[in-house]
Amino acid sequence: MKKSLIVLMLALLFYSCSKEKTDTKENEIKNNLNYGISELTITEPWVRVAAEGMNTAFFFKVTNPLEQNDTLISAESDIAEIIEIHETFVDENGLMGMRKIPFAVIPSNSTVEFKPRDLHVMAIRLKQDVKTGDTTLLKLTFNNAGEKKIFSAARDFVRPK
């Protein structure tokens, strides 16, 4: 019973997200601009709007232009009681779930997207409301690149068209 409720909530969460406008062209341009940068960079960070006490997630892109793999080993933010690196999976019944992972590898010469229905940084039990336009600090620590501070603007579930 509890499990099915969680699955339903996840489904709603992801449904909302799939309605987000995706600026593919803009992303392509940004990716091209990243080409030639000689350090690990994080672009397009955002956090989903949610109320105090609820859960939310951070999303962003990590570009590793180097010849060596890097690894995201921790994430920290003051906005929630617990911050975890999560992945999404589909179980043997075809149901989608998510779970904590100890790290996320960012392969050399590639961009890894933390996005809805995929990798994300989970914020569990928010200490405060996260409202549209709020800017939230997220600290990511990578094995090689070290600490990266990113400011994630909050976006609503559904944007008017």
Taking the complex as a whole, the smallest distance from the CB of residue 26 to Cu ion amounts, in Å, to 26
> From the CB of 110, what's the least distance to Cu ion, in Å?
22
Closest to Cu ion by CB, 11 vs 37, is 11
Largest distance between two CA atoms of the chain: 51
By beta-carbon proximity to Cu ion, the closer residue of 85 and 145 is 85
In the chain, the amino acid numbered 127 is K
Tell me whether residue 49 or residue 122 sits nearer to Cu ion (CB atom). Answer: 122
Measured CA to CA, the distance from residue 89 to residue 77 in angstroms comes to 24
Residue with tokens 């992303």: 27
Token output for 149: 């501070």
Neighbours of 31 (CB within 10 A): 13
Give, as one character, the DSSP assignment of residue 93: T
In the complex, which residues of this chain contact Cu ion (CB under 5 A)?
Answer: 86, 98, 122
Nearest approach, Cβ of 21 to Cu ion (angstroms)?
Answer: 22
